[in-house]
Amino acid sequence: MRLLLTWLINAAALFALPFLMSSVEVTNMGTALVAALVLGLVNTLIRPVLVLLTLPVTLLSMGLFILVINALLFWAVANLVGGFQVAGFWSAFIAAILYSIISWALSTLLLKKDGNS
């Protein structure tokens, strides 16, 4: 149940991005659900490999290169999912940061931690 709620929160955060940035377009909530699912899968499967492969650059940049990886993955998902568009790399860079902040804020508000963890 928690996984489903997290997916819905991420989709809502993605659906809210066009209201904050004109360079991001999400046509409807169904597109946001699909894009959130693909983004979650990409972040789970591909992101760790990219972080490991770019570890020297990440260490030299004191971790800031991870923001570039996030932007590239966000931009790639926008190119894969129809109805979800991002204007360019810098738009994806800012949108990925905003998406993370919105998702974190909604998760903090809506998901309660249980005492067992």
100 against 117, higher pLDDT? 100
21: in domain: no
Quote the pTM value. Answer: 0.89
Please report the pLDDT score of residue 2 as a whole number: 86
Residue 22: inside a domain: no
What per-residue confidence (pLDDT) applies to 17?
96
- Strands, E, within the chain: which ranges? 24-26, 84-86
Give per-residue pLDDT as tens, 3-61. 899 999 999 999 999 999 999 999 999 999 999 999 999 999 999 999 999 999 999 99
- Does any domain span residue 6? no
Domain that holds residue 71: 28-110
How many domains would you assign to the chain?
Answer: 1
The answer to the question of residue 100 being in a domain is yes
Q: Specify if 86 maps to a domain.
A: yes
Residue 1 lies in a domain: no
Instruction: Say whether pLDDT at 116 is over 90.
Output: no
Q: Which residue has the tokens 């993955």?
A: 73
Minimal CA–CA distance to 31: which of 94, 85, 97, 93? 85
Which residue type, as a one-letter code, is found at position 116? Answer: N
Is 70 within a domain? yes
Three-class secondary structure of residue 50 per DSSP = helix
Examine residue 16 and state whether it is found in any structural domain, yes or no. Answer: no
Confidence at residue 111, expressed as pLDDT on a 0 to 100 scale: 84
- Displacement of CA 43 from its chain's centroid (Å): 8
